[in-house]
């Protein structure tokens, strides 16, 4: 029982970080019909910005802020302006060519990091380091609790922003029906840009939280990207809470499988879940089959 609680909690903590990446993925998909195959690399890269900032002498908190700003600019603004927008202007956004372009972007980011920073896994400072708590016999790490709290806090904040503020509602309108939103005076282009910026910020946060666990390595994105897709689809591609549930579910399942069933096939469980969900409930566990919301 104690062990189960431990496994469950650390699964939830990792899962909540996956959920951040998955939510960003969902947002961009909803707002711009862009399936971002480079999402994993978007989570890999910000950690390297932190390392670069720290190498040039900045303290950790300042380095985090600089990295966040750079990531939002590069992965949000530049990604939209330099890749997604020109493709949509040529009338082929959302199609196969955009998928290929984001795949190429993933290679580009990965290889650039490998070439200009290094192929070795780099140690990365933890955001929160704490001891352990003893809750009813279960040893629970403070870091896990903090990760869970931060991620859930961000998700709640984001939901409030999208539902309660004028900008948030305009973003939802853009995702649901761009044409009507535009008629009603919403600057849809700007709203889509906001979505990209939010995605970049979420990916950076996920990066800051997860990199201490995996160490900073150029190839981190391959696994993280796959998990983000799976979480987004399993939970329901058109809902924030779906992506959240998907992320948590994958995190917990992964841990439970590794501990109790098979370590060899732990990576297979999310994939089987993905195939099953797509075949039998394509709208996802929490998704609705029609209509889209941010």
- 188-214 helix and 166-176 helix, angle to the nearest 10 degrees: 100
Gap between the Cα atoms of 262 and 247, Å rounded: 20
For other proteins, the closer of residues 6 and 26 by Cβ is 26
Per DSSP bridges, beta strands 138-141 and 132-135 are antiparallel
**95 belongs to the binding site for other proteins (CB under 8 A):** yes
Q: For the CB of residue 191, give the shortest distance to other proteins in the complex, in Å.
A: 22
30 is written with which tokens? 């909803």
Q: Kindly indicate which of the ranges 107-115, 126-134, 152-160, 253-261 contains the residues binding other proteins, using the contact rule CB under 8 A.
A: 107-115
What would the 3-class secondary structure string for the chain be?
CHHHHHHHHHHHHHHHHHHHHHHHHHHHHHHHCCCCCCHHHHHHHHHHHHHHHHHCCCCHHHHHHHHHHHHHHHHHHHHHHHHHHHHHHCCCCCCHHHHHHHHHHHHHHHHHHHHHCCCCCECCCCCCCCCEEEECCEEEEHHHHHHHHHHHHHHHHHHHHHHHCHHHHHHHHHHHCHHHHHHCCCCHHHHHHHHHHHHHHHHHHHHHHHHHHHCECCCHHHHHHHHHHHHHHHHCCCCHHHHHHHHHHHHHHHHHHHHHHCCCCCCHHHHHHHHHHHHHCCCCCCCCCCCCCC
**288 belongs to the binding site for other proteins (CB under 8 A):** no
**213 belongs to the binding site for other proteins (CB under 8 A):** no
Q: Kindly indicate which of the ranges 68-76, 138-146, 205-213, 275-283 contains the residues binding other proteins, using the contact rule CB under 8 A.
A: 275-283
Site for other proteins in 25-64 (CB under 8 A): 35
For other proteins, the closer of residues 140 and 234 by Cβ is 234
**265 belongs to the binding site for other proteins (CB under 8 A):** yes
Q: For the CB of residue 262, give the shortest distance to other proteins in the complex, in Å.
A: 9
Indicate which single residue of 103, 149, 156, 180 sits in contact with other proteins (rule: CB under 8 A): 103
**90 belongs to the binding site for other proteins (CB under 8 A):** yes
Q: Kindly indicate which of the ranges 142-150, 176-184, 202-210, 226-234 contains the residues binding other proteins, using the contact rule CB under 8 A.
A: 226-234
In the shown chain, the binding pattern of residues 109 to 148 toward other proteins, with x for contact by CB under 8 A and - for none, equals --xx-xx---------------------------------
Q: Kindly indicate which of the ranges 121-129, 192-200, 224-232, 239-247 contains the residues binding other proteins, using the contact rule CB under 8 A.
A: 224-232
Indicate which single residue of 87, 128, 256, 285 sits in contact with other proteins (rule: CB under 8 A): 87
**97 belongs to the binding site for other proteins (CB under 8 A):** yes
* Chain residues that interact with other proteins, rule: CB under 8 A: 35, 83, 86-87, 90, 92, 95-101, 103-105, 107-108, 111-112, 114-115, 222, 226, 229-230, 233, 264-265, 267-268, 271-272, 274-275, 278-279, 282
């Amino acid at each position: 029982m104690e062990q189960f609680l431990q496994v469950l909690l650390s699964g939830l903590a990792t899962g909540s970080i996956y959920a951040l990446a998955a939510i960003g993925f969902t947002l961009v998909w909803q707002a711009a019909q862009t399936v971002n195959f480079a999402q994993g690399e978007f989570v890999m890269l910000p950690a390297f910005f932190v390392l670069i900032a720290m190498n040039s002498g900045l303290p950790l908190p300042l380095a985090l802020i600089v990295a966040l700003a750079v990531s939002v600019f590069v992965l949000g603004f530049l990604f939209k302006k330099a890749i997604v927008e020109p493709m949509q202007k040529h009338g082929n956004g959302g199609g196969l060519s955009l998928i290929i372009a984001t795949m190429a972007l993933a290679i580009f980011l990965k290889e650039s990091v490998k070439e200009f920073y290094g192929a070795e896994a780099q140690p990365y400072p933890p955001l929160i380091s704490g001891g352990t708590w003893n809750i009813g016999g279960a040893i629970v790490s403070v870091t896990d609790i903090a990760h869970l709290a931060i991620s859930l806090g961000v998700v709640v904040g984001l939901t409030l922003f999208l539902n309660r503020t004028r900008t948030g509602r305009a973003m939802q309108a853009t995702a649901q029906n761009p044409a009507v939103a535009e008629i009603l005076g919403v600057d849809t282009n700007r709203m889509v840009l906001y979505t990209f910026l939010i995605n970049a910020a979420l990916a950076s946060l996920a990066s800051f939280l997860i990199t201490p666990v995996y160490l900073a390595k150029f190839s981190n994105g391959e696994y993280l990207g796959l998990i983000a897709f799976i979480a987004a689809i399993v939970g329901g591609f058109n809902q924030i809470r779906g992506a959240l549930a998907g992320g948590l579910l994958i995190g917990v399942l992964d841990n439970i499988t590794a501990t109790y069933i098979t370590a060899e096939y732990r990576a297979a469980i999310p994939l089987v879940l993905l195939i099953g969900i797509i075949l039998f409930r394509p709208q996802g566990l929490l998704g609705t089959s029609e209509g889209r919301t941010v």
